[in-house]
Amino acid sequence: MSILISGSVAIDIILEFGGRFADHILPEQIDKLSVSFLAPQMRSDYGGCAGNIAYALKQLGGTPLPLASVGRDGGHYLDRLRQLGISTAHVAVLQDCYTAQCTIVTDQQQNQITAFHPGAMSQAHLNPVPTDTPITLAMVSPNGKEAMQQHARQLHAAGIPFVFDPGQGLPLFNGEELQQLVDLATWVTVNDYEAHLLCERLGYDRAALSRQLRGLAVTLGEHGCEVWVDGACREVPPVAAAAVVDPTGCGDAWRGALLYGLEQGWDLVRCAKLGNYLGALKIAHRGPQNYQPDPQVVAGY
Active site residue: 12, 107, 165, 252, which one?
252
**Whole-number percent of the chain with pLDDT over 70:** 99
CB 90 within 8 A of CB 66: yes
How far apart, in whole angstroms, are the C-alpha atoms of residue 241 and residue 250? Answer: 11
Which pLDDT belongs to residue 110?
A: 66
pLDDT in tens, 119-175: 999 999 999 999 999 999 999 999 999 999 999 999 999 999 999 999 989 999 999
Which pLDDT belongs to residue 3?
A: 98
pLDDT in tens, 198-233: 999 999 999 999 999 999 999 998 999 999 999 999
Q: Sheet containing 41-47: which strands, arranged edge to edge?
A: 41-47, 10-16, 100-106, 112-117
pLDDT in tens, 238-249: 999 999 888 888
Residues 185/188/194/199 CA torsion (nearest 10 deg): 70
- Verify whether residue 252 is a known catalytic residue: yes
* Residue 196 CB burial class (10 angstroms; 0-12, 13-18, ≥19): middle
pLDDT in tens, 44-87: 999 999 999 999 999 999 999 999 999 999 999 999 999 999 99
How far apart, in whole angstroms, are the C-alpha atoms of residue 173 and residue 17? Answer: 34
Question: Domains along the chain?
Answer: 2-23+36-299 (3.40.1190.20)
Q: Sheet containing 91-94: which strands, arranged edge to edge?
A: 91-94, 64-71, 2-6, 135-140, 162-164, 187-191, 215-219, 225-229, 232-236
Which pLDDT belongs to residue 161?
A: 98
